[in-house]
Amino acid sequence: MSKSHVTMTVVLTMLFLAIVGFCVWSVIEGGSTELILGGAIITLGLAQLISFTARDQALTSAMRRVSDIMGAYGALSRELHSVSRRVSTMESYGLLERPDGQPGRSLVQRSAERSPRPAEPAPAPSPSRSALQSSPRVASQAPPANAQRGNGASHQFEEERFDLYLEPIVQIEDGATRHYRGSLSLRMTDGTRVGMETIQHQATKAGLMPMLDILTVTRVLPVLRRLMQRQRGVGIFCTASAASLADRDFIQKLNSLISDNSDLAKGLIIEVKQQALAELSKEGQEGLAKLAELGVTFCLGDADGHGADVQTLSHLGFHYIAMDVMTLANASSKQAEEKLNAFARDASFHGLEVIAGNVSTRTELAAVSTRAGLGHGALFSPPRLVRHEIAASSAAAAAA
Please compute Rg for the chain using Cα positions.
33
Q: Can you state the angle between helices 282-293 and 248-260, rounded to 10 degrees?
A: 10
For residues 331 and 327, give the distance between their C-alpha atoms in angstroms, rounded to a whole number: 7
Q: 177 and 66: one domain?
A: no
Q: What pLDDT score was predicted for residue 108?
A: 34
- pLDDT at res. 34: 63
Q: Do 97 and 69 lie in a common domain?
A: no
Which of 145, 139, 141 has the alpha carbon at shortest distance from 158? 145
Question: Is the residue at 82 inside a domain?
Answer: no
With respect to residue 44, please indicate whether it lies within any of the assigned structural domains.
yes
Do 69 and 216 have their domain in common?
no
H or E segment to which residue 367 belongs: helix 362-368
Tell me: do 41 and 147 sit in the same domain: no
Confidence (pLDDT) at 123: 35
Map residue 104 onto helix, strand or coil: coil
Could you tell me if residue 27 is inside a domain?
A: yes
> Which runs of E-coded beta strand occur in the chain?
162-171, 177-187, 193-194, 236-239, 268-273, 297-301, 318-324, 353-357, 374-375, 384-385
Pair 272, 235: CB distance under 8 Å: no
Determine the structural domain holding residue 54 and report its residue range: 3-76
Report the C-alpha gap between 282 and 259 in whole angstroms: 24
Q: How far apart are CA 377 and CA 361, in angstroms?
A: 9
Alpha carbon separation from 145 to 25, 98, 158, 228, 238 (Å, rounded): 107, 28, 5, 29, 21
The answer to whether residue 213 is domain-embedded is yes
C-alpha distances out from residue 116 to 184, 188, 189, 190, 315, Å: 16, 8, 7, 7, 46
Closest-CA residue to 20 (of 28, 244, 58, 132):
28
Helix (H, G, I), strand (E, B) or coil at 220: helix
- Among 50, 76, 102, residue at a domain's last position: 76
One domain, residues 116 and 248: yes
Amino acid at site 133: Q
Domain membership of residue 366 (yes or no) is yes
Q: What is the pLDDT of residue 32?
A: 64
Q: Does 88 fall in a domain?
A: no
- 87, part of any domain: no
Got the DSSP string for 252-309? HHHHHHHHHTGGGGGGEEEEEEHHHHHT--HHHHHHHHHHHHTT-EEEEES--SSS--
- The closest alpha carbon to 196, from 179, 224, 178, 215, belongs to 215
Q: Are residues 7 and 139 in the same domain?
A: no
Distances (CA, A) of 312 to 317, 351, 352: 9, 12, 11
Domain boundary among 25, 42, 76: 76
- The one-letter code for the residue type at 129 is R
User: How many other C-beta atoms can be found within 10 angstroms of the C-beta atom of residue 144?
Assistant: 15
Write the DSSP string, 3-18: HHHHHHHHHHHHHHHH
Give the span between the Cα atoms of 337 and 332, in whole angstroms: 7
pTM over 0.85: no
Domain match, 165 and 49 both = no
If asked whether residues 56 and 101 sit together in one domain, one would say: no
Instruction: For strands 236-239 and 384-385, give the pairing.
Output: unpaired
Domain containing residue 219: CATH number:
3.20.20.450
β-strand partners of 273: 301
- Which amino acid is present at 159? E
Q: Are residues 169 and 308 in the same domain?
A: yes
295 lies in the same domain as 172: yes
> Does 97 share its domain with 207?
yes
User: Residue 31: what pLDDT?
Assistant: 63
Q: Exposed, middle or buried: residue 39 (CB in 10 Å: 0-12, 13-18, 19+)?
A: middle
For the chain, how many structural domains are there in total? 2
State the Cα–Cα distance between residues 70 and 292, nearest whole angstrom: 51
- List of the chain residues with pLDDT < 70: 1-8, 11-12, 23, 26-27, 29-38, 71-159, 389-400
Whether residues 43 and 183 share a domain: the answer is no
* Whole-number pLDDT of residue 366: 92
Residue 242 lies inside a defined structural domain of this protein = yes
DSSP letters spanning 153-183 = HHGGG-GGGEEEEEEEEEETTT--EEEEEEE
pLDDT of 157: 56
